[in-house]
Amino acid sequence: MNDAKKEKQKKNLVEAGLMDQNDTLVDYLQASYVQKVWKIGQWKQGWAYFTEARLICITGPLDDNIVIPYQNIRQIGKCSQGFFPMGIEITYETQESGLTTDKLSMTKREKWIKFLEEKSGVTCP
């Protein structure tokens, strides 16, 4: 991806209050996330943005965007999206609700798990 596209995306994320101006956007890609409805969930399309400081998942208009500072990650695991083994399960700490778990599904899962491990210091079993 070229630098002009990254800068445009960074500008949009900063304006939305999801990213700090001094953070660096590493990469972004289309990803799915689990829309939580009570105790069950449904996979929905979204976008994942990996910065130097956090993972941002842009969700649909009815959901809150997912923003996970790497320093708050407590556990990383693998999951599946239906029959496809391409999901990442991330448990992280928030001030509002304590420990929270979100599931994201994306291509090149192993690459992004390794990236999350390096940034968070947490290893995936």
**What is the pTM for the complete model shown?**
0.90
Given CATH 2.30.29.30, say whether it is the number of domain 3-120: yes
Give whole-number Cα distances, 101 to 23, 76, 91, 104, in Å: 24, 10, 4, 10
> Which residues, listed in sequence order, are joined to residue 94 by a DSSP beta bridge?
98
Using 50, 70 and 90 to split pLDDT, how confident is the model at 117?
Answer: very high
Distance of alpha carbon 91 from alpha carbon 77, whole angstroms: 9
Annotated domain spans of the chain: 3-120
Of the candidates 20, 81, 87, the one whose C-alpha atom is nearest the C-alpha of residue 48 is 87
Residue 1: the pLDDT is 64
Phi/psi for 116 (5° steps) reads -65, -40
The more confidently predicted of residues 73 and 94 is 73
Using 50, 70 and 90 to split pLDDT, how confident is the model at 18?
Answer: very high
Residue 42: the pLDDT is 79
What six digits make up the tokens of 58?
């842009």
Residue 77: the pLDDT is 95
Distance of alpha carbon 125 from alpha carbon 111, whole angstroms: 15
Please enumerate in sequence order all residues whose Cβ is within 8 A of that of 41, keeping only pairs 6 or more positions apart, or say none.
Answer: 34, 35, 103
Cα angle 105, 56, 75; round to 5: 65
